[in-house]
Amino acid sequence: MRIIIDMDEVMADNFPSFHRAAEERFGRVVRPEEYRGKKLYDLPGLAEVRNVLYEKGHFRHLPVIENAVEVVRELYEHYEVYIVTTATEFRYSFLDKYEWLEEHFPFIHHSRIVFCGDKSIVHGDFMIDDKAKNLDSFEGVGLLFTSSPNLNERRYHRVNNWLEVRDYFRQERKGRIAQEG
């Protein structure tokens, strides 16, 4: 069974960097309630905050989302895990993301890392992603990882954090073992 795992807003948290850019460059202290159901850089006057994504080093120093390391490790032991991330729009993200994974997820083999531009080419049994758009074209089961911009999305099974992901796949394994008798 193959699981496709997204990086940004699933394994790595971009929001602290967006908040910092909003404050330092535009003098705006943004509260998370302000961008519920959308992106921070969709707020008036903050469109340019998105430009941090193009900067060298941005993806290298993002905090790891809580419990991601332990749960990805558990999934890695039981499934064919692939990390699939949209990277080609951001030229400096390649090395930054690679080194970030090497530092925080050293158990992930390089053959299981996919840098792409369009996730509709990816195949698998499960996909964990914060963007419904990526789940739309996926033929397997889509799990929507909760993030502020997707709070109004209702079409997919929602996982609010990594512990819920862990429980979902523990159940999935139990169900399969029971079926196999």
Residues of the shown chain interacting with Mg ion in the complex, contacts defined by CB under 5 A: 6, 8-9, 130
C-beta of 96 vs 130, nearer to Mg ion: 130
Give the H or E element holding residue 116. strand 113-116
Tokens of 28: 């705006």
Residues in the chain: 181
Smallest gap from Cβ 30 to Mg ion, in A, equals 19
C-beta of 28 vs 67, nearer to Mg ion: 67
**CA 103, 105, 107, 108 torsion-angle sign:** negative
Residue nearest to Mg ion (CB): 8
Select which of 6, 96, 129, 130 is catalytic.
Answer: 6
Smallest gap from Cβ 59 to Mg ion, in A, equals 12
Beta-carbon contacts of 88 under 8 Å, excluding residues fewer than 6 positions away, are: 115, 116, 117
C-beta of 25 vs 155, nearer to Mg ion: 155
Smallest gap from Cβ 174 to Mg ion, in A, equals 28
Q: Which residues pair with 84 in a beta bridge?
A: 114
Q: Is 81 exposed, middle or buried (0-12, 13-18, 19+ CB in 10 A)?
A: buried
C-beta of 30 vs 83, nearer to Mg ion: 83
Q: Distance between CA atoms of 143 and 160, rounded to whole angstroms?
A: 10
Smallest gap from Cβ 40 to Mg ion, in A, equals 14
**Three-state DSSP state, 29:** coil
Residue 118 is a catalytic residue? no
Residue 136 is a catalytic residue? no
What is the per-residue DSSP string for 110-149? GGGEEEES-GGG---SEEEES-HHHHHT-SSEEEEE--GG
Residues with catalytic annotation?
Answer: 6, 8
